[in-house]
Amino acid sequence: MSKEKKPSRQQVYTLLVQVGRKDGDGLPAKATGAGLMLYASGVDEAEAVRESVAILKQADLSPLDVTGYGTLPEREELGHEIGEDERELMARALAENSVIVAQVEPYFD
């Protein structure tokens, strides 16, 4: 009796996470926080957000706010320009069922 693998319901969501300062966060000394662009897999956006926040906390970051920009098809429907490099990172997040930090922008006052 062979078990057929069920098709994955995972999707990749684009998230912007605002983080504050915390000891050991690895941000530049004078930064007041940062914005992180993530590609996170999940069966829905809520799961992608929960997983992302948990991983960021494990990495000694202090997530303050998360803004979701949807899945690739949702973003395309909104007219977002999505480059090949971004598409590759999204495909990797889906294949690995992971959270990928694509960009970190430190904030300075």
Q: What is the tens place of the pLDDT at every residue in 46-97?
A: 999 999 999 999 999 999 999 999 999 999 999 999 999 999 999 999 999 9
pTM above 0.85, yes or no: yes
Kindly state the tokens that stand for 21. 């300062």
pLDDT in the model for residue 74: 96
Classified as helix, coil or strand, 64 is strand
In the chain, what are the domain boundaries? Answer: 11-107
Cβ-count burial of 101 within 10 angstroms (0-12 exposed, 13-18 middle, 19+ buried)? Answer: middle
pLDDT in tens, 8-24: 689 999 999 999 999 98
Q: And the tokens for 64?
A: 């303050």
